Amino acid sequence: MSNSDKPKVTFRNLSVLAYANGFTLWHYRTTHSLPEILNTDYFHDAETHLAVNDMVLVNARGNSALCIVVHNDGTALVKLH
């Protein structure tokens, strides 16, 4: 699968729920699966919005998860917790 075919973040589905002291709690809804979302490149286009330790509440194909941004140096990497 080429990079252009990989699923990626859709900004209209990424919303801020709360913000305080440099921390953001996000909500993200998608039709992609959780394994697709946890791909290290999935949130690449959102790198300027997501900060390390931000949390993302994800609703994916009827499944929910709490993810934490664990790395962002040009590619926002989220990890399921």
Domain membership of residue 45 as a residue range: 14-80
Q: Is 69 domain-assigned?
A: yes
Phi-psi region of 43 (alpha: psi -120 to 50; beta: other; left: phi over 0): alpha
Domain assignment present for residue 8? The answer is: no
The pLDDT assigned to 2 comes to 56
| 32 domain-assigned | yes
Assigned domain for 4 exists: no
Instruction: Establish if 7 belongs to a structural domain.
Output: no
Reply yes or no on whether the pLDDT at 77 is more than 80. Answer: no
Tell me if 2 is assigned to some domain. no
User: What is the tally of structural domains in the chain?
Assistant: 1
Query: Taking the model in full, what pTM does it have?
Result: 0.85
**pLDDT band of 81, cuts 50, 70, 90:** low
Would you say residue 22 lies in a domain?
Answer: yes
In-domain check, residue 19 = yes
Q: Is the pLDDT of residue 15 over 80?
A: yes
For residues 3-10, average pLDDT: 81
Question: How confident is the model over 30-65, as pLDDT tens digits?
Answer: 999 988 888 768 888 898 999 999 999 999 998 999
Task: For CA atoms 41, 46, 52, 57, give the dihedral sign.
Answer: negative
